[in-house]
Amino acid sequence: MAAAGRAQAARDRVPRIDPYGFERPEDFDYAAYEEFFSTYLVILTRRAIKWSKLLKGGGGVQRSMTVKRYIRKGVPLEHRARVWMGVSGAQAQMDRNPGYYQRLLQGERSASLEEAIRTGSHKCRVLRKTGSLCPLYTRSPPALAPPSAPCLYMSRTFPDNVRFRKDAEPCLQGPLYNVLLAYGCHNHGVGYCQGMNFIAGYLILVTKSEEEAFWLLDALVGRILPADYYSPSMLGLKTDQEVLGELVRLKLPAVAALMDGHGVLWTLVASRWFICLFVDVLPVETVLRVWDCLFSEGSKILFRVALTLLKHHQASILEATSVPDLCEKFKEITQGRFVTECHSFMQRIFSEPGSLSRASIARLRERCRARLLVQG
């Protein structure tokens, strides 16, 4: 009874909707979260004071060892948009191209692009295949909307977020559609790819600005992530999954042997990790802490996150005796206190995987990309 009472008391104290507009799930552990957040709030307060001093006087955020160290320890929500815009180069791009975002929205439109965004029907083969074969995620990939329901897909991007509902004021479905449309017009080689809606949605929630979200999306797709991540071939995405496999063979050979023994490809279990940059895979605040470093240090952070999840849960993964069992293990490793306690999780990603240099990742990418091209 005492435990039940504490759980109910925590449920009464912790808001049902988080600071980003997401409703907490029915099985949310309010007591565990309250215990974690009471400690994390002290860290956030301390970091906010340090960031306020660092950013005093306005101006852009420039890369430096101090900024890198601060980012690894966490960026307060009130400074996150400004920091991301500065360290990613998005602010500089926006300043050099005043009015460009508005011109994209006012210019000639592509009917096929608009249809793809409205229905989520473009280049979704990887996510549909993975979702149907292996239930790895908190929610299944959104079902495709019929052409007669142009806003249905937008509303299904984050069905548990009150700010994306039609009755929200303001409703973020429109801004999300605008950002995706503008980016598709800006980058014809990519257009729209399923997964970008999740990324753009998070960017809008953080920046509260369509234009800033657009330029951050441009920084991610155009510079931070490898080429062809969201192209029709998705070669960049496939390459990174191959790279993850190589890293696991090197650092976690027992896990690699288990995967090989069951004939499970990394595309089956890790596609969504990479294409959605862990959105809708890890808890919201943990994803944003990962993105702090993604914008600052580049895409190698994705491998650090993946390897940390695998290494920490290696013993559990190795208990799998079948493909469905293995799939369930991969679902479990993205849930629970280990990933919810984002501050300690971020400390782990810079220690558990060991050395992971930008140069070594570049060499692996080059080798894996060449192998995939040969395979056709």
Residue 129 pLDDT more than 90? no
| Mean pLDDT confidence for 192-215 | 95
User: What's the pLDDT at 147?
Assistant: 36
| Mean pLDDT confidence for 319-337 | 93
| Mean pLDDT confidence for 61-81 | 93
User: What's the pLDDT at 2?
Assistant: 67
| Mean residue pLDDT across the chain | 87
Higher-confidence position of 31 and 288:
288
Gap between the Cα atoms of 367 and 98, Å rounded: 40
Q: In this predicted model, what pLDDT tens digit does every residue of 3-25 receive, in sequence order?
A: 666 667 777 788 889 999 999 98
121 pLDDT band, cuts 50/70/90, is low
User: What's the pLDDT at 101?
Assistant: 97
Cβ atoms within 10 Å of 332's Cβ, excluding its own = 13
- How many percent of the chain have pLDDT more than 70? 89
Gap between the Cα atoms of 144 and 153, Å rounded: 7
- Judged by average pLDDT, the poorest of 18-22, 290-294, 350-354 is 350-354
281 with 332: CB under 8 angstroms? Answer: no
Gap between the Cα atoms of 196 and 180, Å rounded: 8
Q: In this predicted model, what pLDDT tens digit does every residue of 168-182 receive, in sequence order?
A: 989 999 999 999 999
Q: In this predicted model, what pLDDT tens digit does every residue of 152-162 receive, in sequence order?
A: 566 678 999 99
Q: In this predicted model, what pLDDT tens digit does every residue of 11-67 receive, in sequence order?
A: 778 888 999 999 998 888 888 888 888 899 999 999 999 999 999 877 778 888 999
80 with 112: CB under 8 angstroms? Answer: no
User: What's the pLDDT at 62?
Assistant: 85
- How many percent of the chain have pLDDT more than 90? 66
Q: In this predicted model, what pLDDT tens digit does every residue of 87-114 receive, in sequence order?
A: 999 999 999 999 999 999 999 888 999 9
Residue 372 pLDDT more than 70? yes
Residue 191 pLDDT more than 70? yes
| Mean pLDDT confidence for 230-254 | 94
